[in-house]
Chain A
């Protein structure tokens, strides 16, 4: 077989670094519709489930039992199960059916029924459904803040920046478990420096995680993984009952909890039992709900590449997000683990959650460079921040981030690093030097940080964990060292724990939380909680629900990259050329000559071309080219149009030889011949940014050769396809300025005070 050069290029593309396989249900490698998936059924006798999805109670495994006894709302189960799945699917998309109604019915559906409902939806319909079923009114986002060196000052600075950038939750983790207390401490201080009210967690083994929470260092936990088969669950060293107990244990200490599940985990653990990923995920979600978790992070999470290797995988991942929302769960919708080598594929997948908006668009956006992300990379990282804020601006949507200025970012980073330095000093931990504070302030990654004494840090972290030091001591240390505002925020996190409002579904604190003020009642809370209770999603079609408008839209629009278009072309406007004078109406020539017809702003309202060439030099180059062929060039200015075709056409009519060079002020040029239709021409140079003085000289020379009736090789032009993209605003504004000079005047003769050097 001969080899196609195109196929060879395609083989090297990022998309072809991925693995694609055909479905194999026996191995659990199927996203929906496994032949082994059960059909929906439910039988209730005396208020007790005796049959679930085709299985009688005496054959139930632990998960079936938990779902039957905790996961289903018995008051609505028979009604919901009797409704055709297609009708329920249509209700999900129907803007006239409120979220609460669907949520109530979904609560009575078995796992197989839930899958049967979403099977009827394509991705667009699922996105509609997700926009309606999301629990909280406004979407938000969560950040990962970690670094390979576990540098406390850097962790604090990065957490402060992440908070400033608008992340409502910040999660850290460790490469070495003993660092966990310092990591949790650093992101607590950092986050409360950047924006009061950011919830934090440290992802570690459960008992250590609980210990950190008890110290008040963390406020949420999403490490509670559940699985869709009994064997996978047991391999994960838990049961639905132990997880339910853990959920209550965390809540008893005022910790917000979120379970974790996602398509593909059972297949990866070798325990899919032939079932489809989505069916198993539906089981996970009913366990999650049954255990009383307020929410879930799903969307395949760290297994994402597995459903993506299969047909329909990305759709199934969206379907699981939707199912969770239908069940009344807060959804942190994945997009966290590396999902693709291909930027196109990765971004396209993101749109399924970004456009509808979820409670947390990612369940961990790497707010540090990928190489510092200890969660395994991060699908989007600190280097993508500007891409995200521009996407928000492009689509007028809210993906939970705000554009920030370098100056304000440096300020919160420095202050967070100083606060950690102060707390370490106050509590007798290994010192953080001024040099480290400064490095953390300006750092991009942990490569920019000075080394620390690792053994001393670890020993101190051990002491800290085993000591009686809690968030109260941290707040006191901050207060004593002059960081009262951060102390107030840390204390407020503790006060909010006492109020426990953030244990309700989809709770975050308002990014615009008030600072404590004099007018505030003494002892009042000042972080404002936003949850599905007091700020529920009210989407009911156009004109309803969350809209990006007002202050938030102003903030999203106001990216630091945006410039005022008013002074955008200032560099192209100079003193009108003194060497170029109007000397009266242009007359038709009789001699062999080339007319150079320029646009109405040339040398006056504009003085430089789009790539900065001085009009004087451009004109000189063209005339030099003409002179090289022994002809005379006559310059006329066209006033009646700014259009290049009209300018060239007018020039050709005036030219004694019938040949003219048309030249717009931005530099776009053509060679025109009398008698040709206005939109036809001899040569056209639309790529003005690529034209050099040498090209203008060649244009002049070619024009003269046409005038002499010689054979002509067209002037070679460089094509830069990105030029239009880069310069389109400038092009529009320069053309607008030229058009402003258009008036009802015949062409005028210009005297150019210059002699060719030939």
Chain B
């Protein structure tokens, strides 16, 4: 995919004709008139993965590397439904999961959602949590 450049920022002003919501509706079609006509749905007001990737490109070019990485993970997570998102967060909190469970989560992120960056973060957590006693099993067994 073509890289978004920093001079296209703000996208909402300078690249508006290319922006689509998560629903694929064009931003220029999300108007008061459309609202009046009942032609808008909730996903028309949700950000799309491609827009988040475009923002990641911009952040990276401006030197905000870690923010860019976060926006890439965010782009991946647009595919994950709300309740699963909350469950994933809960599973990553200390003492909630075994190492195997974390690895299974990473696999699911990668295989079901193509979320390889986020999957990598979860895999990394699985290693650190074992090292630092932050897994569930280790808590119940006592250290």
Residues in chain A within 8 A of chain B (CB atoms) = 61-62, 65-66, 69-71, 73, 100, 103-104, 107, 206-207, 210-211, 214, 216, 230, 234, 237-239, 241-242, 244-254, 289-294, 328, 468, 470-472, 475-476, 479, 484, 487-488, 491, 494-501, 503-505, 516, 522-525, 528-529, 531-534
Contacts and interface: CB of A to CB of B under 8 A. Distances in A.
A292 B67 contact: yes
Given A292-B66, A294-B67, A529-B13, 7 more contacts: A65-B128, A70-B66, A234-B94, A237-B93, A248-B74, A484-B32, A525-B27
Nearest to A210: B86
Contact of A241 (B19, B59, B92): B92
Interface string B87-129: 0111011110000000000000000000000100110110011
B66 A472 contact: no
A326 to B, nearest CB: 13
Nearest to B48: A498
Interface in B44-98: 44-48, 51-52, 55, 58-59, 62-71, 73-78, 80, 82, 85-86, 88-90, 92-95
A499 B67 contact: no
Contacts of B93: 237-239, 242
B134 to A, nearest CB: 6
B89 A499 contact: no
- Secondary structure at the B interface, as helix, strand, loop or mixed, is helix
Interface string B4-39: 001001111100100111100011111110011010
A491 B44 CA distance: 11
B82 A214 contact: yes
B140 interface: no
Nearest to A475: B35
Contact of A533 (B44, B47, B58, B76): B58
A699 B128 CA distance: 89
Contacts of A241: 92, 121-122, 124-125, 128-129
Most buried by A among B21, B32, B76: B32
Given A241-B125, A292-B71, A500-B55, A479 B32 contact: yes
**Nearest 6 pairs of A and B residues by beta carbon:** A292-B70, A523-B28, A499-B12, A251-B74, A494-B45, A252-B77
A239 B134 contact: yes
Contact of B41 (A70, A104, A246, A472): A472
Contacts of B137: none
A523 B62 contact: no
B28 A532 contact: no
Contact of A487 (B32, B55, B65): B32
B141 interface: no
Contacts of A103: 63
Contact of A522 (B6, B31, B121, B131): B31
A496 B78 contact: no
Contacts of B70: 244, 247-248, 251, 291-293
Contacts of A66: 128
Interface of B: 6, 9-13, 16, 19-22, 26-32, 35-36, 38, 40-42, 44-48, 51-52, 55, 58-59, 62-71, 73-78, 80, 82, 85-86, 88-90, 92-95, 118, 121-122, 124-125, 128-129, 131-132, 134
B85 A252 contact: yes
A422 to B, nearest CB: 16
Nearest to A469: B42
Contacts of A62: 128, 132, 134
Contacts of A328: 63-64
B89 A523 contact: no
A248 B79 CA distance: 12
A505 B63 CA distance: 11
A292 B64 CA distance: 8
A491 B30 contact: yes
Contacts of A471: 45
Contacts of B59: 504-505, 533
Contacts of B21: 498
- Secondary structure at the A interface, as helix, strand, loop or mixed, is helix
B125 to A, nearest CB: 4
A206 B87 CA distance: 12
A494 B128 contact: no
A582 to B, nearest CB: 73
Contacts of A247: 70
A351 B55 CA distance: 35
Contacts of A207: 86, 89-90
Contacts of B55: 500-501, 503-504
A306 B76 CA distance: 41
A144 to B, nearest CB: 26
Contacts of A505: 59, 62, 64, 67
Nearest to A495: B30
Contacts of A292: 66-71, 73
B52 A100 contact: no
B137 to A, nearest CB: 16
A85 B71 CA distance: 32
B88 A245 contact: yes
Contacts of B95: 234
Given A242-B93, A249-B77, A484-B32, A498 B19 contact: yes
B46 A254 contact: yes
Given A242-B89, A499-B12, A253 B47 contact: yes
A497 B45 contact: yes
A230 B132 CA distance: 9
Given A241-B128, A252-B75, A472 B42 contact: yes
Most buried by B among A66, A488, A503, A532: A503
Contacts of A504: 9, 55, 58-59, 62, 64, 67
B11 A500 contact: yes
B129 A239 contact: yes
A244 to B, nearest CB: 6
Contacts of B134: 62, 234, 239
14 contacts: A69-B124, A73-B65, A245-B92, A247-B70, A252-B75, A254-B46, A292-B73, A294-B64, A328-B63, A472-B44, A479-B36, A525-B10, A525-B16, A529-B10
Contacts of A491: 30-32, 35
Contacts of A497: 45-47
Contacts of A242: 89, 92-94, 125
Nearest to B74: A251
A61 B129 CA distance: 10
B85 A249 contact: yes
A62 B132 CA distance: 7
B104 to A, nearest CB: 16
A470 B42 CA distance: 7
Contacts of B74: 248-252
A71 B74 CA distance: 18
